[in-house]
Amino acid sequence: MLKDISSSYRYHSKRGKAILAEPRGSNSLRLAVLSDHVVPRLQSILASCLEEKSLSAEVYESDFGTYQIEVLDKSSALYEFNPDIIYLNLCSQAFRERFYSLSLSEKESFAESYFEEITGIYTPLADQGKSIILNTFPQIEERIFGEDSPCVLNSLSSNLNRLNQLVISKVKSNPNLYLLDVGFISSRLGLLNWYHEKSWYQAKIPFHPFNAVCLAKALSDILAAIRGKLLKCIVLDLDNTMWGGIIGDDGVDGIKVGPGGEGEVFSHFQNYIKTIHEKGVLLAVCSKNEEENAKIPFNSHPHMIIKEEDIVCFIANWTDKASNIRQISLSLNLGLDSFVFLDDNPVERAQVKDALPQVVVPELPEDNSEWVSFLDRLNLFNSFGFTDDDLKRSQMYKEEAVRVQAKTKYQNINEFLISLDINMEINPFRENDVARIAQLLQRSNQFNLRTQRLTEGDCRMVINNPGSYLGLSVKLEDKFGDYGLVSVVNCRRESQNLFIDEFAMSCRVLKRGVEEAIFEYLINYCRENEIQFMRGEYLKTPKNNLVKELYGTLGFIKLEETESSSLWELSVMDTQVPTHFINVRRPND
């Protein structure tokens, strides 16, 4: 048992108890945990882990062993609870008990038949558009064929391996499924630290009781990612973080990065960061340096893995780092809570942490050979696969920086917008766009009117019900480059009204006339379909103040207003079509 895990267990279970005593926020997740075992203090620990991410959840736990019945019985407490997310939490020991009850020949295909049972449990729930979390299964120290066990079909070892492969491939192919890799979590601790058989016999806890904290932490990471809480930019220090030594003092030949000794530590670190970058996370530099010096290694050191073109925003000066990071956040239009700051210097970290508490500042270990595994353990970049736009994101942000420069050259904004030669394509929701649409709705916080967070399943529901819904996705390009899919509108048809259920836009394309062009489209749509009123609602979140008055600027009249919301209406026939300078292509053009 590892010391920091037991103290973390005590800390979170105590803290979570206090959190649970308070009422949950209205924006809580609804999570049902269906287990074939007991997880000690799961609700408290999870509440505490979620609270650290500014999230909360209403949690329903089935009694262990009753979850199959609860799923089948439509009048059960599970259905009454009506969860959004279901974690089907299964363990190796329960699998083992079933396994031992079988004949030799049945054992040969047990993983497959067990997986069919699992599928039978979650499929009705997934079909209702619920998100389902499945876990992998740790190996057990019962290898009766010794080293050969994984090769023998009717061994426990082979069955667990096959079961894991089945779970993984299912999650990969079904967008409503998410993976909690308990197999990896247990191997990181080592099976000797993972298991505590006494707790299984006494209380049906399948691991050392304190390891519940590892499970709850991973679960909270997945929930945060489902909720769209993603970190989007890593701000990197340079000297002694990206390379060993100080470029201003040691020169490009003196710094350490590349093959041999300490340089390999920095190469590995750069490789790890570069891979995170490749899956769509932006990189920025913030270094106390002369800019000229700071850029030398990027341009002339043969072993630098992260290149200057990977960096979306490069700041080297002597200003304090918190101010610089605030500047980066402004120029990229990204909230501070989507930033991670990596610096070897504890003083710099403390300054940033103190001034910008929203920024994630990992306390990197003193020994930099541990950095990669340390960062990996924090699991900061949980996300689900990646889309083509992830690959292009960094390029798009850089193009934005050029646009900001171009803006200053023009006398007035209209002239500038015309010069951009903006082309827009509006399409109804299409299967090919569903992944990006759901992703955009998860990621957009500032320009997001109702923060509905539609999942891929929800988008398909819109596609399949064209009579009730109008889902539109918007692509944009201009003379500087292609932005990809930047905005999503989803409307509900209500007899004479069109209710805008969700409207979100990437902040990269603010102030281009995109919203005006979209509303021109919607107004024309309403007129063609004899819809008289368009209604829109603003639901306040800590981040979307930007669009509080959006409907007003688009000509809507305010019907109602409360602390946290406002309702707006536009009379379609009377209104003027908003002005913009975008060439719009409609689906039928």
Partner 1 sequence: MTRERLTEEIIELIQGLLDDDEIQVSGSSTASILEEWDSMLQIELIASLEEQYSIKISLNEASRLSSIQAIVDYIQANL
Interface positions with partner 1 (CB under 8 A): 1, 3, 6, 10, 13-14, 17-18, 40-41, 44, 196, 198-199, 201-203, 205, 208-210
CB of 52 to partner 1, least distance (A): 19
CB of 13 to partner 1, least distance (A): 7
CA 572 vs CA 296, 527, 577: distances in Å: 59, 7, 9
What residues are paired with 313 via a beta bridge?
284
Tokens representing 568 are 């707006």
Kind and range of the H or E run holding 397: helix 388-407
Angle between helices 110-127 and 92-100 (to 10 degrees): 130
- Beta carbons of 303 and 267 less than 8 angstroms apart: yes
Question: Angle at Cα 370 formed by Cα 16 and Cα 185, nearest 5°?
Answer: 45
What residues are paired with 424 via a beta bridge?
476, 584
Strand ranges, E, within 186-251:
233-236
Q: Which residues, including other chains, have CB under 8 Å from residue 241's CB and lie 6 or more apart?
A: 269, 342, 343, 344
- Mapped onto helix, strand or coil, the DSSP state of residue 508 is helix
CB of 94 to partner 1, least distance (A): 18
Residue type (1 letter), 305? I
> Token pair 């950095």 is at which residue?
371
CB closer to partner 1 out of 41 and 475: 41
CB closer to partner 1 out of 208 and 288: 208
> Token pair 């308070």 is at which residue?
22
CB closer to partner 1 out of 17 and 268: 17
CB closer to partner 1 out of 18 and 350: 18
CB closer to partner 1 out of 13 and 444: 13
Residue type (1 letter), 115? F
- Beta carbons of 48 and 19 less than 8 angstroms apart: yes
CB closer to partner 1 out of 83 and 209: 209
CB of 344 to partner 1, least distance (A): 32
Question: How far apart are the C-alpha atoms of 379 and 291, rounded to whole Å?
Answer: 32
CB of 1 to partner 1, least distance (A): 5
Question: How far apart are the C-alpha atoms of 526 and 523, rounded to whole Å?
Answer: 5
CB closer to partner 1 out of 202 and 468: 202
CB of 216 to partner 1, least distance (A): 15
Nearest to 535 by CA among 518, 557, 550, 553: 557
CB closer to partner 1 out of 6 and 149: 6
Nearest to 519 by CA among 540, 503, 496, 542: 503
Question: How far apart are the C-alpha atoms of 393 and 504, rounded to whole Å?
Answer: 17
What residues are paired with 55 via a beta bridge?
none
Tokens representing 508 are 């990269």
CB closer to partner 1 out of 208 and 580: 208
CB closer to partner 1 out of 202 and 271: 202
Tokens representing 459 are 């988008």
Question: How far apart are the C-alpha atoms of 200 and 206, rounded to whole Å?
Answer: 5
CB of 521 to partner 1, least distance (A): 56
CB of 363 to partner 1, least distance (A): 24
CB of 76 to partner 1, least distance (A): 25
- Mapped onto helix, strand or coil, the DSSP state of residue 301 is coil
Question: How far apart are the C-alpha atoms of 396 and 288, rounded to whole Å?
Answer: 27
CB of 205 to partner 1, least distance (A): 7
Q: What are phi and psi of 397, to 5 degrees?
A: -65, -35
CB of 211 to partner 1, least distance (A): 10
Indicate the burial class of 116 (C-beta count within 10 angstroms; 0-12, 13-18, 19 or more). Answer: exposed
CB of 209 to partner 1, least distance (A): 5
Strand ranges, E, within 309-450:
311-317, 339-342, 422-428
CB of 62 to partner 1, least distance (A): 17
CB closer to partner 1 out of 19 and 380: 19
CB closer to partner 1 out of 37 and 475: 37
Indicate the burial class of 135 (C-beta count within 10 angstroms; 0-12, 13-18, 19 or more). Answer: buried
- Mapped onto helix, strand or coil, the DSSP state of residue 439 is helix
- Count of CB atoms situated within 10 Å of the CB of 2: 14
CB closer to partner 1 out of 110 and 210: 210
CB of 41 to partner 1, least distance (A): 8
CB closer to partner 1 out of 51 and 239: 51
CB of 65 to partner 1, least distance (A): 16
CB closer to partner 1 out of 18 and 69: 18
Nearest to 500 by CA among 543, 547, 435, 446: 547
